[in-house]
Amino acid sequence: MSESGKGAVATVEGGADAEWGEVRSRTVEWRDPAGPARKARELDGLGYLRAILDGEIPAPPIASLMNLRFLEAEPGRVVFALNPDESQYNPIGAIHGGAVCTLLDSVAGCAVHTTLPAGWGYTSVEIKVNYIRGATRDSGPLTATGVVKKSGRRIAFAEGEVTDSQGRLVATATSTLLVFEVPQES
C-alpha cells in the first residue's frame, strides 16, 4: 500500500482497487453557523430548537455531516433521528460507536438546552455510553431521545437512549453538562 498525499487515505497499487468496488462519496452541505449562533443568544432554548424544527433557522452543520434530523422538542426532552449509512462504518462494517455517542451527546445537550433562558448555553462535561447492540445501514433510522433528569444553575444531568427501526435498544447514555451564560459579542 502507498499513501496518497499527506492524508490518511491509502490506495492499493497494481490495480487491486477493483477488488474493493467503486469509490463511494457523500456530499455534505451546510449554512454558515454564525447567524444561527447569534439567534441562539436571542431565543430561549426551546424556542431556538423549535425554530430549527420549523425550518426558520438552519440546523447546525453536525446535522448534515452525521445525517441527523431533529424530530421533536419539548421542555426537557428532544428526539432526533440518524440515518445510518456506510460513511459512518468502522473497520468491521458496523456504525462506529463514535457516531452513536455523538447522537447521544447531541440529544442530551439539546434536552438541557430546552430548559435554558435566552443568552444561556451548555457544554458537555462528561458522557458515559453503554452500547447494547451494533447497528448498520440495514438497522434503519436510529431514533435518539434525550431527557433532562436534573437541571441546575451550573450543572445539568441528562440521559439518552438510541433505538433502531425495530424499537430495539442500541445504546444508552448519562451525561453531565455545564450550564453558563453565553458571553456577549464585542
By DSSP bridging, strand 2-3 and strand 10-11 are: antiparallel
The pLDDT tens digits of the residues spanning 14-62 come to 455 778 889 999 999 999 999 999 999 999 999 999 999 999 999 999 9
| Residue-range definition of the domain harbouring residue 110 | 33-181
Specify the CATH number for the domain of residue 47: 3.10.129.10
DSSP conformation letters of 80-135: EEE---GGGB-TTSSB-HHHHHHHHHHHHHHHHHTTPPTTEEEEEEEEEEEE-S--
Q: Is 186 part of a structural domain of the chain?
A: no
Whole-prediction pTM: 0.88
Confirm whether 163 is domain-assigned: yes
pLDDT digits (tens, 9 = 90+) for 78-133: 999 999 999 999 999 999 999 999 999 999 999 999 999 999 999 999 999 999 99
The tally of domains found in the chain comes to: 1
Asked if residue 90 is part of any domain, the answer here is: yes
